């Protein structure tokens, strides 16, 4: 368990990388609109990261070719930015990772281009609520099985499903560290301790948990039924009274 717990100095290094992630989110939300291409978003993100002294941690990771993940509509995660032009009613999820001074930050958000359906907005709201409430719930002594059940309860309440093959994770000197953090309940699991740094990232689907990796690019994870999905993520540290968000500005 000690390897999961970070010193305060290490937490501050993670916080700096995560701050850059949050800055990218802030700036991209200003320009995400109808008529903008995914490549434009990727270029803007990389410019910000480099200007802030960071490195895009996704770029080159296991061969991934871009600085962000941009997943639209039936794409849930790992969408590679391309020439696609955003249209009114699209649902986009943006995932950003940054490494600075050898330490990582990671966070994601989803939004609708213009106005979406009531159901689409419900999906986004539920996913955001699950993330925010689960950060408050993530206190020392809580097991990952309990945390997963808590996250899943929001999806079940509103008639959505969770992506069981895609999970949150620890974070630090590596982008993906133990422990892995499922968004569903199970018995037991690692017990949260003060000073652990983790990424909680609910991924909710409007439809069954039926996914596939797009063979055209080998990365983009899509729903088989073509339904929407929503992805929200923060890098946090476990404190005495709950999670503290590190990926913020």
pTM score: 0.96
Does 116 have pLDDT greater than 90? no
Could you tell me the domains of the chain? 2-245 (3.90.230.10)
pLDDT tens digits for range 118-170 = 999 999 999 999 999 999 999 999 999 999 999 999 999 999 999 999 999 99
Rounded Cα–Cα distance for residues 67 and 61 (Å) = 10
- Judged against a pLDDT cut of 80, whether residue 61 lies above it is answered with yes
Contact 228, 235 (CB under 8 A): no
- Tell me: pLDDT of 115 over 70: yes
Question: Is the predicted pLDDT of residue 205 greater than 80, yes or no?
Answer: yes
> CB under 8 Å, gap of 24 or more: what pairs does 119-122 form?
119/206, 120/91, 120/206, 120/228, 122/158
Residue 238, C-beta contacts closer than 8 angstroms, at least 6 positions apart = 138, 139, 140, 192, 193, 194, 195, 196, 197, 198, 244
């Amino acid at each position: 368990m000690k390897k999961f717990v970070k010193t305060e100095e290490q937490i501050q290094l993670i916080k700096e990388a995560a701050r850059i992630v949050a800055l990218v989110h802030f700036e991209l939300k200003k320009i995400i609109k109808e008529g903008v291409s995914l490549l434009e978003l990727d270029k803007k993100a990389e410019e910000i990261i480099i200007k802030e002294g960071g490195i895009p941690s996704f770029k080159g990771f296991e061969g991934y070719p871009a600085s962000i993940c941009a997943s639209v509509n039936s794409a849930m995660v790992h969408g590679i930015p391309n020439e696609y032009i955003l249209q009114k009613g699209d649902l986009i999820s943006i995932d950003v990772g940054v490494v600075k001074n050898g330490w990582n930050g990671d966070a994601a958000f989803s939004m609708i281009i213009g106005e979406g359906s009531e159901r689409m907005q419900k999906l986004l709201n539920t996913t955001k609520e699950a993330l925010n409430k689960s950060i408050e719930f993530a206190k020392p002594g809580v097991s990952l099985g309990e945390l997963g059940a808590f996250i899943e309860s929001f999806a079940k309440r509103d008639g959505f499903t969770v992506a069981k093959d895609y999970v949150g994770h620890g974070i630090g000197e590596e982008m993906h560290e133990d422990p892995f953090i499922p968004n569903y309940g199970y018995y037991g699991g690692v017990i949260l301790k003060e000073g652990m740094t983790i990424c909680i990232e609910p991924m909710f689907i409007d439809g069954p948990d039926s996914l596939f990796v797009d063979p055209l690019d080998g990365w983009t994870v899509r729903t088989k039924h073509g339904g929407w999905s929503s992805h929200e993520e923060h890098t946090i540290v476990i404190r005495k009274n709950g999670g503290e968000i590190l990926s913020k500005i």
